[in-house]
Structures are given as structure tokens and as C-alpha cells.
Structure 1
Amino acid sequence: MNTENAYRYAIYYAPEPSSAWWAAGSHWLGRCALTGRQLAQAVIEGVAPERFHRCTQDPRRYGWHATLKAPFVLAREESLASLIAGLRRIANQHSAFAMPRLQVSTDGGFLALRPTVRHPCIHSTADACVTGLQALTQALTAEDLTRRRQKRLTARQERYLQAWSYPWVLDEFQFHMSLTGPLRNIPTAELTALVSAAQERFDALPACRFTHLSVFAEPQVGANFVWIDNVALRT
């Protein structure tokens, strides 16, 4: 798979690939973005396997992560090497830290893990990725802009979209690790079962640390995103 000239790249927070957090999230979604393998999903009592598979379809494509800089196309004069170099400059200015507790949430109409408290290090690191790498990216196409305006944007979100290619950045940013796509019209009993299963899986994990920035790639248009590199923060 050629990731040197991928269609798009993204900067994520992703757990260490050897960690329990990576295994738990990848199995929940049904795919490992490191190996590209499809994974067997858990059987959740009260939720049909087909329903669970459909609910996790959207985040499965992107891999187990939290977005720091949303997917972008590199400028023509840039390369994966220059992207990694830019990310190293950012990583050298930020230290690794312990993550706050992550809890299961249905905010926004989808299931995700969100911090129980606002952590300034999460936000400063995400802000640096958004602003520090923007010069390496191509401007959004009209189609890109239309897609990212599918939800009605506030005036500030529209400014951020124009400046940073994504509306939910800086003070609009909310760290989250998606567990499902939109949960429209799902019966209450099934939603309750999904929440309970997620809580049982992720509450049992050890404390989580933010130690590196992850580069993921979309090799071709519409392809699954794959993990390609980690850049360590200062220790």
C-alpha cells in the first residue's frame, strides 16, 4: 500500500498499538488500522450483530482515534517527509501527559468517549496541530466545503472552516473517540445496551496517556484510513 502519496492524511490521537486501549477500541469498531485486518466484534446482548456493525461503519473507516487535525490533502510541493518534519517540530514543543478519565457519552447523537474534564494540554496540542500544519495543506475544494457545511455552521465555525479547513477547531474543538456513527432512530433499549457494553469495555481499562501524535493516511479516495507513523511528544 502506497502511503507516500496518499490522497489525504490526518493527525490523530491514537493509543499505542501494543496497548489494551488500542485492542479494545479496534475490536469495538471491527478493524485494526495498523494491520488493516477486519476484527471480530463483541456480541452485545439486545443488539443484533448487523445493527452493531452498521452503527460502527463510519468510525471503522477512519480507525480508532480522536481527531486533532481533520483529513487534508497535502500541498503539491509538500511530501509525507515534510509533514512528519512539521509534526516533529510541534511534538518537540509539547510534553506527554496523563489523560483525564474518558467516559461514554451520547452527546451529538453518537456514542463516543469524552474526557470528564477539560484538559488544557489536549487543547493546546490539538491547536498546534491545526495551526502549525495548515501551510502544508491544499485549500479545500468547493465539494469539500459543501461536505463540511452539511451541518449548519455558526459564523465563527464558518471562519474556522475558511481559515483552518475545518469548523470544529480551537475553541470549538471537543476531544472525542468515536464509537459509532449517528444513532438516528435506534430503539431506546438497543441504545441502552450499546452504552452499557461500551462502559463495561472501556471503564475496565488502565489509565491512558497521551504520548505521541499519530499520522493516518487515506491511500485512495474513499479507502479505509491506515496508521502510518507515530511522532513522540517530549517526555
Structure 2
Amino acid sequence: MNTPPPHNAHRYAVYYTPSPGTLGWLAGSHWLGRCAALLRPLPQLDIHGVEPEDLQRLTAAPRRYGWHATLKAPFALAPGTDWLELHHAVQQVARGLTPFAMPPLQVEQIGDFLALVPLPRHPANTALAAVAEACVKELQPLAAPLAADDLTRRSAGLTPRQLGMLQRWGHPFVLDEFRFHLSLTGSLGLVDTATADLVLDAAQQYFSDLPPLTFNSLALFAEPAPGADLVLLDHLELGA
């Protein structure tokens, strides 16, 4: 797919997503309540005992970013860099990678949010980490440095290692700090414990039927304006 790109987008990002229209894409997009490819809301799961408004609030943060796993977190382009240069660079990264079968995924709580994560110690986790490292390192020359206020705001609670990552790569959880995940909720503290437990149970049942996924492309996203919903611009096939 090729959505006409916003040439002056606030930020861009490189993600893993299942191909639009596949069951893997539709399952996650319906869970979040928005399709980042068609740019429209979608009906969410009806969870017994959970008010629709609570599920909407709980999924609001990941819904803005669309169904995805982060490889290169949102960044502004460096001065003098344009969208076409970025698109070409992402294409070059994709061409240097080989498609592979994803590990089985399971719902897990990470910190205070729910996410779909690969089974631990699965051999394909090494390939996932290598793809993320390639995106972070090879695309960083096209990224603008973080502004001083952004660094200050995002430094709270980080370890010295994570702070160094933030300063060098624009994000604290990269390289050896990276953990592949597709976010399902924002903070579980937005709802009461009973509601959070019902949402966890529903997510585990819902995603237990997710078909096997293949990592065969890099997804280029854009945030058109500060705070705007991110949109899927293009899927760039690995090895192509």
C-alpha cells in the first residue's frame, strides 16, 4: 500500500505490523478501535462486565499510535532531510533483511500495561532484536537530536544506561534494553483492578486464536502534527 505521505510530518517511526487486511492486522486494530491504514475507527471487543467507555479509555494511548511493535521510535527528521530520503533509507534497511517466522505471541503485563509479546527464549527472538538494532542504528543519522526539554522530560526514572541510550539513540529502550511488544493498553491504573483483570482475561482469550505471523516487512508511520493519530504510510518488504 502507498498512502500519500505528509511531507512535513511532525515525526516518523518504523514499526512492525502485520500486513493491512490480514487477520493479524484486523485483530489488533479492532482491539485498539482504529485502523491506521484506512484512518477510521473500528468497533472494539464487547467484554462482559467492562463498560465500553472504560475499554476506550484504557486503549486510548496505543490507539493513537496504531497497531504496531516499535522498531525505531517516533523521531523528527534532521534538518535538510526530507521524507523521500527517509523512505529510501527504510527501503535499504528492509532490503538487507530476510523474512522469518515470528515466535508465538502471548498477552503479558509489562510494567503497568498489557502487551502481546513473543514467547521467551524462542530462537526467532534473536532475529527480532537484530531487526530492531538495524533500524535504530541505520536510521539514526536521519533523526534530529532530541530537544533539551524533551530530554529532561523523558529522563525521569531512567537508569544511567537507559539515559545514555536516550541521548545517543533518541529512545531509552533500544539495543540490549529492547523488548519486542505490541501494546494493548495504556496504564492499567486508568481503571479499577476488577476491570483490569477482566480486560486481561479477554485479551488472553481473544489473541489465543491469532494465526502465526511472519516478519516480512518494515512499516513506515507518520505523526502528521503534534499529538495527531499516527498513520501507516508504507510497508517495505524485507529482502526486496
Same-fold status (TM-score > 0.5)? yes
Q: Distance in 2 between matches of 1:49 and 1:147?
A: 32
Residue of structure 2 in register with 1:219 after alignment: 224
Residue of structure 1 in register with 2:143 after alignment: 137
2:129 counterpart of 1:126: no
- 1:144 aligned counterpart, secondary structure: helix
- Identity of matched residues, %: 49
Residue of structure 1 in register with 2:212 after alignment: 207
In the alignment of these two chains, the number of paired residues is 234
Instruction: Report the Cα offset of residue 86 of structure 1.
Output: 1.0
Task: Decide which moves more: 136-145 or 1-10.
Answer: 1-10
Q: CA RMSD in A?
A: 1.3
Distance 1:171 1:28, change over 3 A: same
Q: Distance in 2 between matches of 1:121 and 1:46?
A: 39
2:91 counterpart of 1:85: no
2:158 equivalent among 153, 157, 164: 153
Instruction: Report the Cα offset of residue 71 of structure 1.
Output: 0.4
Q: Distance in 2 between matches of 1:86 and 1:170?
A: 20
* Aligned residue identity for 2:153: R
* 1:55-204 matched pairs, under 5 angstroms: 55-118=58-121, 119-150=125-156, 152-184=157-189, 186-204=191-209
Query: 5+ unaligned residues in a row in structure 1: which ranges?
Result: none
- 1:184 aligned counterpart, secondary structure: helix
Task: Confirm or deny: 8 A CA contact 2:107 2:114 kept in the other structure.
Answer: yes
* Normalised TM-score (structure 2): 0.94
Q: Distance in 1 between matches of 2:149 and 2:116?
A: 30
* 1:40-55 matched pairs, under 5 angstroms: 40-55=43-58
Q: Distance in 1 between matches of 2:82 and 2:186?
A: 31
